[in-house]
Amino acid sequence: MKLWQKESTSVSQIIEAFTVGRDKEFDLLLAKYDVLGSIAHVKMLGDVGLMTKEEANLAVDGLEKILATVQEPGFKLDDSMEDIHSQVEWLLTQQIGDAGKKIHSGRSRNDQVAVDIKFYLKHEVLAIKDEVNNLFTLLQSQSEKFKDKLIPGYTHLQIAMPSSVGLWLGAYAESLVDDLELLASAYQVANKNPLGSGAGYGSSFPLDRKYTTELLEFRTLNWNSVYAQMSRGKTERVCSVAFSSIASTLSRLSMDCCLYLNQNFAFISFPNELTTGSSIMPHKKNPDVFELIRAKCNRLQSVPNELTLLINNLPSGYHRDLQLTKEILFPAIEELKACLQLMQLMLTNLSVNDNILDDEKYRYVFSVEAVNELVNKGIPFREAYQQVGNEIDKGDFRFDYKKQLNHTHEGSIGHLCTEEIRTEMTKVLLKF
């Protein structure tokens, strides 16, 4: 029998299978957080007199044993149970008897799952933050290592101006700083406690929501009980926007790596064991990892839109539509973490080819340097531009970049501002 089921009612198996969907699969990810939420709720019930101190202590002891159980490898929901909330209450009742039946006082499964998801998202946001910071540190390290390796820069995918591997990798490091700004904001949204909002309209019981907020180490409450329910779905969407921003950075970096590994560019290389071959062409070294990171991260960027379409125009209150946020967002989180880890593996093993700009096809990349040299000699910029342009048109352009290349301003190939960017990242990390 379900927690909500009356003796006079029964549920069609077809309806049950359809309404439960993939919930049991994702409830395994929420099991730990559901038990922790129950422990806080029970302590509060004992504190306000809705359970005796002895009952509350007994229930907490039982829940702590259940917490150990749900974290064991191989734990699964019983086939007879509708969800993790039902199983936890059932397991507790089997352990301690009727006192276990009291733990749902002043609580709804709606606010249980709301607190479980926020708890889960807090944990996952911090895990992703750590992975992003690891990638940031690696990018900065490789940026410094290869800062003297010159490559052409491109606009419109046409050869433009001199760049360097250091400048290129450092750009993506700084991109991650802005991505973490969004993630820090998402963390603040997730770091609010909805527990005690019940079915969305509070309770006539004297619940102490500030106490459970303190016990669960949330920054603050979702104060309004209706909004506490409305934050479900919205919190997931806000987090997905931050995840999408990180994915965008990874996708763009992956595309660069695919191009730069291409024989026509031939800027970078990776060990054979990190690339794949062809069943027919023996010379191939395919960038499958980067192609899959690109594809997965492009898909991840659709998640905010999918969540928006799911929850858009819902009226206030709880709706079963919100159940589907889990199957949209939870797998996306795992994909993002995997992409971050694989990107770190690949870039750790990055090699850069020497003397790339010596190739004749890159001679025009120094046209701006030639213009600037003339300007430094007192020639007006427009005249210098025309002079160099005429040389290019006639095929007479030559420029010895090895002697003349000298970029010194902040953020240029000669002044990467690695420490300044690291300082910005440190400021962002303090927001979590």
What residue spans define the domains of the chain?
13-102, 109-198+226-358
Whether 218 and 115 have beta carbons less than 8 Å apart is answered as: no
Sole residue written with tokens 């990190």: 274
Whether 178 and 132 have beta carbons less than 8 Å apart is answered as: no
pLDDT attached to residue 2? 53
Going from the C-alpha of 163 to that of each of 246, 320, 346, 347, 398, the distances in angstroms are 24, 53, 22, 19, 18
Q: Do domains 13-102 and 109-198+226-358 have the same CATH topology?
A: no
- CB count, 10 Å around CB of 56? 23
For the chain, residues with pLDDT lower than 50 are 1, 4
pLDDT attached to residue 25? 85
pLDDT attached to residue 134? 98
Reported as half-sphere exposure (CB side, CA atoms, 13 A), residue 410 has a value of 4
Which residue stretches of 161-287 are H helix? 165-190, 209-215, 225-261
Whether 38 and 7 have beta carbons less than 8 Å apart is answered as: no
Whether 202 and 226 have beta carbons less than 8 Å apart is answered as: no
Whether 369 and 399 have beta carbons less than 8 Å apart is answered as: yes
pLDDT attached to residue 14? 85
User: How far apart (Å, rounded) are the C-alpha atoms in residues 144 and 166?
Assistant: 6
pLDDT attached to residue 142? 98
pLDDT attached to residue 9? 59
User: How far apart (Å, rounded) are the C-alpha atoms in residues 243 and 299?
Assistant: 11
Of the candidates 327, 186, 291, the residue with the CA atom closest to the CA atom of residue 244: 186
The mean pLDDT of the chain is: 93
pLDDT attached to residue 4? 45
Whether 41 and 103 have beta carbons less than 8 Å apart is answered as: yes
C-alpha 275: how far from chain center: 25
- CB count, 10 Å around CB of 22? 13
Tens digit of each residue's pLDDT (9 = 90 or more) over 45-86: 999 999 999 999 999 999 999 999 999 998 998 888 888 999
Class of domain 109-198+226-358: mainly alpha
CA dihedral 368, 369, 374, 378 (to 10 degrees): 90
Which residue stretches of 146-161 are H helix? none
CB contact set of 12 (below 8 Å; sequence gap of 6+): none
Going from the C-alpha of 328 to that of each of 143, 229, 403, the distances in angstroms are 35, 19, 55
Assign domain 13-102 to its CATH superfamily.
Fumarase/aspartase (N-terminal domain) (1.10.275.10)
